[in-house]
Structure 1
Amino acid sequence: MNVISLRNNVNIVGQGNQLLIFAHGFGCEQSMWQYITPAFLSEYKIVLFDYVGAGNSDLAAYNASYRTADGYVQDVLNIIDEFQLEDVIFIGHSVSSMIGMLAAIERPEAFKKVIMIGPSPCYLNDGDYEGGFDEEDIQELLQTMEMNFSGWASYMAPFALGQENNTPNVQNLERVFVSQNPHIAREFADMTFHLDCRSRLHEMTVPSVILQCAEDSIVPGPIGHYLHEHLPHSSFEILDVKGHYPHISHPEVTIERLKHYIKEG
């Protein structure tokens, strides 16, 4: 097994010529796609991985580059280079939507399409721009993660999923949150909520798809419209579901729409 496979816990499964890379969001790891990937195994080759610092990645490889998006973008590019991947359809959840976009801006020839689930180019409110959070909110979140990581996880899981406490989905997401290294998870959160990609959107030449939940507890409604307006070659659809993790809470709807946009074009 090569260095990149071990470092990013890369797993390649499925059949077919079209490559799909599924990229998890903040606080998560590749098992978050378990309700989605079985529907694609017979037709597509699927690349699953953990960002360095998440899941079963090599924690020893975590360094200062991951305090910005650069480290995570490089993870994606390293996987593409190591396995000589071409015509990639990148499916990113939450902050991974922007990580995928930045990777596609840097290496457009490797990408066929970027599909974004619950994306946001900036989570902070800024004048007329409604990102969803004030700086005070972010600092409170980071402080809670630092002082009571398990308490943060038990609050965040139902809030992000838009479901009641103690449902199997909430329990599973909370378990994944808690399993992360608290220090690394806090730095990932800091990077995520302070990331601002608005000035880079116009650089995107690869076609993209924006899938936004109708009631998203993390990303305000206007964000999808903002992205669609500023992202060249983009498609936009509002999913009639609640929560920030439709691939967990509403896998059937998510699968159906992903299949549509994967086959489109």
Structure 2
Amino acid sequence: MSESPCSSGGIFQALNGNVYGNGTWTLVLSHGFGADQTVWHHVVPFLACFFKVVVYDLAFVHPGVYGAAAGKYSDLGGYAEDLVRLLDGLKVKRSIYVGHSMSAMIGCLAAIRRPDLFEQLVLLSGSPRYLNAKGYTGGFDEPAINSILQSMRANYSGWIHDFAPTAIALNNTGALMEFEHSLGRIEPEIAVSVAKTVFLSDLRWALPKVPVPCSIIRSRKDIIVPASVSHYMKKKIGNGTSKVKILRTQGHFPMLTAYPLLLDALKGAI
């Protein structure tokens, strides 16, 4: 019988997992919406000198994996399940996890399920909720989210052209081209589905349940995630050990646009 792509052993191959370096500690890098594992290419060579670095793609990068899972990825819990199975398949006992954007909360959910797999979480440009709510500024109101989803459905390539520079936020042609390329590789229907899942999620309830130490890293200015969100996360994460590091840069993708600053922050955090 062939092995299911969602089994512990098969998930690493299904999500195009790769391991670099052979350090004692395992460091997991998980990307965000619109990207794939190549978003880490600036930092992996350095980190692999000290850690066993695991990178993989989230399911939406691979239509066969995403489409075969029915409603599994209708919330971030499905991605957290993949992460747990991937680490079990690699026989990882404790890891340092770096999750960017949507993967920040994926890591939180996975650590709640299986705290034995994680020594520490690094939450990079993450948010538990993007919609504003009473007493909470997520950065977007409902009409803005609806407009984004409508634009994606109507003209996905045009939306990429508008959204990518906003997310990158710096005059960095290389980073912009990389992000536009990775966005363009995602099937439009899948991209809309994932965007809906991310932008309409509310995972504030999870923060007090996170059982492992967390470091929160963000750019000084990020139009996707307001600074108030990062400080909210620090306040609400239940283990009392979280801290916030502000990078002196702009944009949602410091691993592409300010990777020396990110590496310095990671050295300080882990």
TM-score after normalising by structure 2: 0.92
Equivalent residue in structure 1 for 2:132, among 125, 130, 134: 125
1:95-134 correspondence to structure 2 within 5 Å: 95-134=102-141
Determine the C-alpha separation between the residues in 2 that align with 1:19 and 1:128.
38
Question: Is 1:247 aligned to 2:269, yes or no?
Answer: no
Per-residue deviation, residues 91-132 of structure 1 (Å, max 9, x unmatched): 000111001001001100110000011111110000221100
The whole-number CA distance in structure 2 between the counterparts of 1:239 and 1:3 is: 37
AA in 2 matched with 1:24: H
Give the secondary structure class of the aligned counterpart of 1:53. helix
Q: Which moved more, 1:192-201 or 1:51-60?
A: 51-60
Could you tell me whether the CA contact under 8 Å between 1:6 and 1:57 is conserved in 2? no
1:213 is aligned to 2:219: yes
Number of the residue aligned with 2:6: none
Which segments of 5 or more consecutive residues in structure 2 lack a partner in the other structure? 4-8
Residue 259 of structure 2 aligns to which amino acid in structure 1?
P
- RMSD value, Cα: 1.6
SS at match of 2:219: strand
For residues 48 and 61 of structure 1, do their structure 2 counterparts lie closer, same or farther at Cα, with a shift above 3 Å needed?
farther
Moved over 3 A (4+): 55-62
Paired residue type of 1:245: F
Matches within 5 A, 1:176-215: 176-215=182-221
Distance in 2 (alpha carbons) for counterparts of 1:225 and 1:42: 32
* Alpha-carbon distance between aligned partners in 2 of 1:168 and 1:63, rounded to the nearest angstrom: 36
How much does 1:27 deviate? 1.1
2:108·2:206 contact (CA, 8 Å) conserved in 1?
A: no
CA contact (8 A) 1:50 1:56 kept: no
Unaligned runs of 5+ in 1: none
Quote the offset at 1:177 in angstroms. 0.5
Query: Could you tell me how far 1:64 is from its partner in structure 2?
Result: 1.1
Q: Are 1:93 and 2:103 counterparts?
A: no
**Contact in 2 for aligned 1:29/1:176 (Cα 8 Å):** yes
- Is residue 170 of structure 1 aligned with residue 170 of structure 2? no
Tell me the equivalent position of 2:89.
Answer: 82
Question: Which residue of structure 2 lines up, in the alignment, with residue 158 of structure 1?
Answer: 165
TM score, norm. by length of structure 1? 0.94
Contact 2:34 2:179 in 1 (8 A): no
Contact 1:119 1:224 (C-alpha < 8 Å) held by counterparts? yes
